[in-house]
Chains A and B, each alone.
Chain A
Amino acid sequence: MLTEQSAYTNRWRRVSPFAKGCFSLCGMIASFAAGSPRTALLVALIMTTTTTVGAGIPPLRYLRVASPALLFLAASGVSLFISLDFGSSTGGISIHPALGELPHIAMVCCRSLASLTSLLFLALTTPLPDIISLLRRCKFPDTLLDLMFLCYRTLFVLSEAVHETIIAQSSRLGYATVTLSLRSLGGLIANLTIQVWQRSQALHLAAMARNSDGALKFLENSYPHSAKSISIAATAGVLTITMAVMLP
């Protein structure tokens, strides 16, 4: 996953996740506080520049990660732009562009873009285990955090199993037709369901063998100059929000 690669190799990998989470949250608040599409675009520009120039994420990789979401945003914008009229003179349904709604649609799309860049800042600079540690500090329920840890640690194992099964099935023409594809996919998911059960049993046995008393506990990373990073991030975030509120 491109996001994971960036999260582990970026320049700000050793910066406190609390600082990065704080700046990302401020970016989202600024997106919603922006009073015009221009201001929201400015917030998006700040967040993108911070991610690419500050954290050193290559712009092309950034674009590759953002492109599915950007396409989805474009489709959502188009669906807002279309208006239906059920009471047309011909008695049918007429479709026409909602020209009067353009400023509102522009605002929604630009806000969404700004918010997306804030999310991408966090996703591309902070590995998921660090985000889970951050949530643990924010007193999220232990059961939910355990689910997250287990999910994160097994999803790559399951992805590999899926990849290998698909290779095996494809080499036997398992995906040659639509009917065969459906049957192969059904077999793959059924096999995976059983693997889920078997792997969870093995994990449980391994945990019991190590005197597990229930909750999963992990050592947390320590980050140098954490207080300094947090104060810089908070200041930058507050400045971004202030700019979004002040600009027309």
Chain B
Amino acid sequence: MHIMEGFLPIRHAIGWSAVSAPFVAYGLYTINKRVKEYPEQRMLLGVAAAFTFVLSALKMPSVTGSCSHPTGTGLGAIMFGPAAMAPIGMVVLLFQAILLAHGGLTTLGANIFSMAIVGPFAAAAIYRTAQAVRLPFGVAIFLAASLANLLTYVTTSAQLAFAFPDPSGGFAVSFAKFAGVFAITQIPLAISEGLLTVVVMNALVRFNARELQEMKVTVVQEVQA
């Protein structure tokens, strides 16, 4: 769910870019550190950005019968870490704006914040919490992927409500309006993305355990979808 080009007032566009910039800078710092230690990761992260872009072009069946595309924020955060997802997300969102006219340059900061910062960090936090309280691995993956998707859309609704408060009810009413309108499609999609991520991890564990170990992803048991 992207905010389209020119839709946000200029102060909001600049403000969200300023908020996102430190996260992207920190992400670049962690990537540089990783690349110094493991030079082969430079190529991996570049190809991972292409992978995330290609994921957004796939059609995912939704539980309501409609279809949309996976965001890949949950999967990316688990595979590559949440900090690295900010610069990767920035590249993907920039490519989507230029190659597909989806999103935009003036709204890049706001879209980075919701999709490449809130989503991946939420996914990583939920995944770690779920592991800490010893939830089954499949449940942890499902919760991380679906709640990350959901939080991304809640953040976008809040950004829109902040920019366009309701004339009578202000931010709260406007947030309820945007969240309500998008909930019809986003809640089923979040569930679908959660299920899909479980299926992906299941397939990875079953057929590619050695590669996962070499990629330093700590998956130890098969997931039940």
B58 touches which one: A1, A185, A214 (CB < 8 A)?
A: A185
B99 and A1: CB pair below 8 A?
Answer: yes
B51 touches A72 (CB 8 A): no
Counting CB contacts under 8 A, is A218 at the interface? no
A26 within 8 Å of B (CB atoms): no
Contact of A201 among B40, B101, B178 (CB under 8 A): B40
Query: Interface size bucket, B side?
Result: 35 or more
Contact among A68, A114, A144 for B91, CB-based, below 8 A: A144
Which positions 81-108 of chain B face chain A at CB distance < 8 Å? 87-88, 90-92, 94-95, 97-102, 104-106
A236 interfacial contact with B, CB 8 Å: no
Chain A residues, CB < 8 A from B92: 151
* Interface pair A150/B178, CB less than 8 Å apart: no
Residue of A nearest to B192 (CB): A182
Contact of B167 among A32, A98, A119, A131 (CB under 8 A): A98
Closest to A154 in B: B50
Size bin of chain A's contact surface: 35 or more
Q: A83-B167, A151-B46 are in contact. Are A204 and B6 (CB under 8 A)?
A: no
A42 at the interface (CB under 8 A from B): no
User: Which residues of the other chain, B, contact A191 by a CB distance below 8 angstroms?
Assistant: 203
With A144-B28, A148-B94, A201-B43: A119-B58 Cβ-Cβ less than 8 Å: no
B187 on the interface (CB 8 Å rule)?
Answer: no
New A-B pairs, 5, CB < 8 Å, besides A3-B98, A143-B31, A151-B50: A84-B177, A150-B42, A151-B95, A181-B61, A190-B199
9 residue pairs A–B, Cβ–Cβ below 8 Å: A32-B106, A69-B5, A115-B6, A146-B42, A151-B91, A154-B47, A192-B51, A193-B204, A197-B215
User: A residues touching B (Cβ–Cβ < 8 Å)?
Assistant: 1, 3-4, 28, 31-32, 65-66, 68-69, 72-73, 76, 79-80, 82-86, 98, 100-101, 108, 111-116, 119-120, 122-123, 128, 131, 141, 143-144, 146-155, 157-159, 162, 178, 181-183, 185-194, 196-201, 203-204, 207, 214
